[in-house]
A and B are shown apart, each in its own frame.
Chain A
Amino acid sequence: MIAPGNHLLTVLIFFPALGALALMILRADDHIWIRRMALVVGTFEFLLSLLLIPGVPLGSVGYKLELSIPWITSPQIHYHLGVDGLSIFLVILTTFLTPISILASWNSVHHRVKEFFVMLLMLEVGVVGVFLSLDLFLFFLFWEVMLIPMAFLIGIWGHERRIYAAVKFVLYTMAGSILMLVGILWLYNATGTFDLVEIQRAIQAGQLVLPEKTEIILFLAFFVAFAIKVPLFPLHTWLPDAHVEAPTAGSVILAGVLLKMGTYGMMRFCLPLFPLASRKAAPYVAALAIVGIIYGALVALVQPNLKKLVAYSSVSHLGFVVLGIFSFNSIAMQGAIYQMLAHGISTGALFLLVGMLYDRRHTFEITQYGGLATPMPRLSAFFLFAVLSSLGLPILNGFIGEYLILLGTYIVHWQWATWAASGVILSACYLLWSYQRVFFGEVTADKNKTLPDASERERFILATMCAVILWMGIGSAFLTRRTAEATNTIRKQMERQQWPAEAALPAPAPHNGAVITVHTLEKSSNR
């Protein structure tokens, strides 16, 4: 089942690192070739990632293109990769947004150009690695490694309060992930392996039954790490800072892909590994998600800063994703996966557009703009397109995700769906209102009268983004057919008997502190 000959996934992860090495050889002041090289590497990586699509046949169950090589002997850690319907498009989204970000930073990054593109490519390594790892340890490793390039992107090439934002970003994420590490180790103690596939198999076969308390604690250890990343209300406060201070490329990757690592983690780890705890936590999580949806939208509504507005809209949109995941309905979960991708593209496009405005006027304040449709009709048209996609206009991509999520959630809990639906209305309000203030009316500031319209490079970027938005809206079946099996698998993995009664458990180990009791799987052999 595991063919050791298949190295596509390895190549996918490490090709950008190779590209980054190649960049380092170039002369530091040779900016043009550095950019070209980065773009070539990014584009080639994207084309490579398209090979995944034939690699995951329609209707196939389980992980494809698996590769498992022993890496560390004590404890047993495997370099175990694999792709399925859940991760495939997230990988492609990553490889798609990276060349777009490289292109978007063409003229807006002037100092330490080489390091910038090296960091961007290293970030891609980490993110792709996260999506493809099937070993908990390996997953954690990529999860942590990816922090550093992102922190540097924010901290070196960001705006005024960049250092504060970068440090906050790292500390927040690390606080969650180090607890996840303790959780991973605890799980290892219970199962004797870091291998996700094996653990899932054991859980499904009923070989591994975690006691109620343990499962809930473990669920929380994982969930909090992911919730910080998503970010779920009230753990979201790092996000607006990070977004506002990050350079455009950083924001695009951050909103487009990094946030999805959280929701991906919930679907990949929280639900299948801790199904009963997930069920138990679902109402609370859903409540937080709904609060996030409405809170994010309300804050976005009163935001004077355009970039912060888009950032808060992310909090709101990601709330939908979390809601969809924790409704455990297959339609809603499909919608959640779809919404992850759609949000990546449409919010990515919005950040690109906001970045382009910033390149021209060096401000994010909405009051500084107004009537921009007159000097730059093309840019404003693209902006409108992205706004409409983000607020969920039918035919465009944002609609399908939100619709599926609301539909699926409605079937299970109509109250949740009702509350969440108010977020859709609010998103139309804040997006359209801000669009109106920025682009319509008279040109209020003299500086704005002479702003240049979108350049060819910018038009190319935006047209690509808009084409994808439209394609995702029309050809959504291409995506959903491939993600369907993944959601079914997760739902199947969640079907499990109840927690065993307390009396049926073996006596707890005689020791202070928390206690692990586990029914058999191979007992961890400590060597």
Chain B
Amino acid sequence: MPILRPSADDFYRVMPELMWCGFGVLLMLLQPLTKSRSFLATVAFLGAAAGTASSYLAYQHIGPGFFSLIRSDAFSFFLHLLIGLVAVLVILASDSYLSREKLDSAEFYALILFATAGMGVLSSAQELLTAFIGLEMSSISSYILAGYRRDTLKSSESALKYFLLGSFATAFFLYGIALIYGTTGTTVLDSMGNADPNSVLLKLGLALVLIGLGFKVAAAPFQIWTPDVYEGAPTPVTALFSAGPKAATFALLLRIFATVPAATQYWFWAFWILAVLTMFAGNLGALVQTNVKRLLAYSSIAHAGYILVAFAAVSTMAGSDSPDGAMPAYAAVLFYLLSYALVKVGAFTIVSQLGGKDEKYVTLEDYAGLSQRHPWAAAALSLFLLSLLGLPVTAGFFGKFYIFKAAVNSHLIWLAVLMAVNSIIGAYYYLKVIVAMYMREPAEDSAATAPIAFPAAVNVVLFISAVGTIYFGLFPNQALRLLLEKTLIGGLK
């Protein structure tokens, strides 16, 4: 029996995760030694940035690592950059929030880094149990983060709900893995090439995996937890939830349904139905919201639906004769995740900043006349909402455009039309927020009208997300060049 010894290259391939975890541990060690919030924030920022930067190292060592447990390729590189960016932005935005709410810094940052490492594992996992570990790393950190304002009822409710339902979904996922292993004899995605696609057990296993992951990305009918969890969690954490885990989980879904031939064939209708249900659940739910945080939570359900439209397109293309045909649909998903992450982090950062102590001011009335009090914040939030709405010259427009294109390419005209209908419904509630900010007068004696300071770090976050949103709305080429690489997903059959 040969001795399994990982090569040095393998460690390069997990360098981002090593960085994130290392800095997370360092932060926990530093906690008893220092009380300085700004010092801890700097360390956390450096850790997140170092991890993100070192994903380039992983990209230099393309190929399977740790005996096919993970795989470093352009796909994982892109996602590492994306979730790393989210982590950096969230950490930048958190400092002022934590001091405002008088919460401990070190654990918070450490948990964010651990969660990010988990997402990193998830997005490069090539083997289902490794994926499971990544999922658990990110989930368990998320459960704690959701309840981080532990003296607030809503936050505890959020954590408990997330934990109970999340563990349930994870169990589904694990059971699915077991069934897949039972039929194929392996948990390595690459080795499933010869699996019999007609095997009932395999179908059942894949269905359970789909349910488990569907829960994590808030796809209907597994989305019930989302508004409550998003609302109760500290807002910077909500920003993280809505961008990072979603991206990583979609990445795993893509990898499974793209690389396993048996998985690509029967899942078109599953994705079709999931997409339609999710779009409608999100958009119709958001219509009646008056709490901006909840509204954005429902909107993130809707956006998961749009991404699932691209999945339906992927699943029709993957089975067809030309393997290249599927690439734009993958690219559509990834580009959408990028545009969406930028926008959501920016939007939630503004919500967190405007919320004031204990996040009191999060309703539409509190936003009335915002353009007079904080013209820049109102302009930035409008930009983000218009991007979510999918208006041109924002990244969100191209995201939606590529998904439309992928759907039309796959002849899914009806799905495209339903998505169009949903975009209109979505336009209504995004406009509602913009209308409140620009066209309504603020309530006379509202305490919400007190000016709120925007610290430099928060401004940097808003600047990066706003500039990114416009930049990718004008010049999507740069991102696409990476996404359209032939070897985007390594090992693609």
**Closest CB-CB distance, B470 to chain A, in whole Å?**
12
Q: B411, A72: Cβ atoms under 8 Å? A: no
CA distance A526 to B316 in the complex (A): 15
Residue of B nearest to A154 (CB): B439
CA distance A352 to B390 in the complex (A): 34
Q: B405, A185: Cβ atoms under 8 Å? A: yes
Report if A185-B408 is in contact (Cβ < 8 Å); known contacts: A74-B484, A167-B435: yes
Which residues does chain B contribute within 8 Å of A166, judged by CB atoms? 435, 439
The A168-224 residues at the B interface (CB cut-off 8 A) are 170-171, 174-175, 178-179, 181-182, 185-186, 188-189
Partner of B392, one of A145, A155, A171, A509: A145
The A398-448 residues at the B interface (CB cut-off 8 A) are none
**Closest CB-CB distance, A493 to chain B, in whole Å?**
25
Q: A144, B411: Cβ atoms under 8 Å? A: no
CA distance A475 to B449 in the complex (A): 58
| A384 on interface, CB distance cutoff 8 Å | no
Report if A170-B413 is in contact (Cβ < 8 Å); known contacts: A148-B386, A527-B324: no
Report if A182-B480 is in contact (Cβ < 8 Å); known contacts: A140-B392, A515-B411: no
The A131-171 residues at the B interface (CB cut-off 8 A) are 140-142, 144-145, 147-148, 151-152, 155-156, 162-163, 166-167, 170-171
Residue of B nearest to A514 (CB): B413
Number of chain B residues close to chain A: CB under 8 A? 41
| B393 on interface, CB distance cutoff 8 Å | yes
The B377-404 residues at the A interface (CB cut-off 8 A) are 386, 391-393, 397, 401, 404
Which residues does chain A contribute within 8 Å of B484, judged by CB atoms? 74, 527
CA distance A402 to B417 in the complex (A): 38
Q: A167, B428: Cβ atoms under 8 Å? A: yes
Q: A74, B420: Cβ atoms under 8 Å? A: no
Q: A163, B439: Cβ atoms under 8 Å? A: yes
Residue of A nearest to B398 (CB): A72
Partner of A170, one of B327, B423, B427, B475: B427
Q: A144, B438: Cβ atoms under 8 Å? A: no
CA distance A19 to B303 in the complex (A): 36
The A23-79 residues at the B interface (CB cut-off 8 A) are 72-75
| A516 on interface, CB distance cutoff 8 Å | yes
Residue of A nearest to B440 (CB): A163
| A513 on interface, CB distance cutoff 8 Å | yes
Residue of A nearest to B414 (CB): A513
Q: A144, B405: Cβ atoms under 8 Å? A: no
Q: B411, A509: Cβ atoms under 8 Å? A: yes
Q: A186, B408: Cβ atoms under 8 Å? A: yes
Q: B392, A144: Cβ atoms under 8 Å? A: yes
CA distance A156 to B382 in the complex (A): 15
Report if A188-B316 is in contact (Cβ < 8 Å); known contacts: A163-B440, A513-B411: no
Which residues does chain A contribute within 8 Å of B331, judged by CB atoms? 74
Provide the B412-428 mask, 1 if CB < 8 A to any CB of A, else 0: 11111100100110011
Q: B417, A179: Cβ atoms under 8 Å? A: yes
CA distance A133 to B438 in the complex (A): 31
Report if A178-B393 is in contact (Cβ < 8 Å); known contacts: A74-B328, A513-B415, A515-B411: no
The B424-464 residues at the A interface (CB cut-off 8 A) are 424, 427-428, 431-432, 435, 438-440
CA distance A334 to B392 in the complex (A): 33
Provide the B316-331 mask, 1 if CB < 8 A to any CB of A, else 0: 1000000011011001
Provide the A290-304 mask, 1 if CB < 8 A to any CB of B, else 0: 000000000000000
Q: A527, B327: Cβ atoms under 8 Å? A: yes
**Closest CB-CB distance, A99 to chain B, in whole Å?**
25
Q: B435, A155: Cβ atoms under 8 Å? A: yes
Q: Which residues of A contact B (CB under 8 A)?
A: 72-75, 140-142, 144-145, 147-148, 151-152, 155-156, 162-163, 166-167, 170-171, 174-175, 178-179, 181-182, 185-186, 188-189, 509, 511-516, 524, 526-527
Given contact pairs A181-B420, A526-B324, a sample of 6 additional A-B residue pairs in the complex whose CB atoms are under 8 Å apart: A73-B480, A74-B477, A140-B392, A171-B431, A185-B408, A511-B411
Ranked nearest first, the 3 interchain pairs of A and B with the lowest CB-CB distance are: A141-B392, A514-B413, A155-B439
Q: What are 26 A-B contacts with C-beta separation under 8 Å?
A: A72-B477, A74-B477, A74-B480, A75-B405, A140-B392, A145-B393, A156-B439, A163-B435, A166-B435, A167-B428, A178-B423, A179-B417, A181-B404, A182-B404, A182-B416, A185-B408, A185-B416, A511-B316, A511-B410, A511-B411, A512-B411, A515-B411, A524-B409, A526-B324, A527-B324, A527-B327
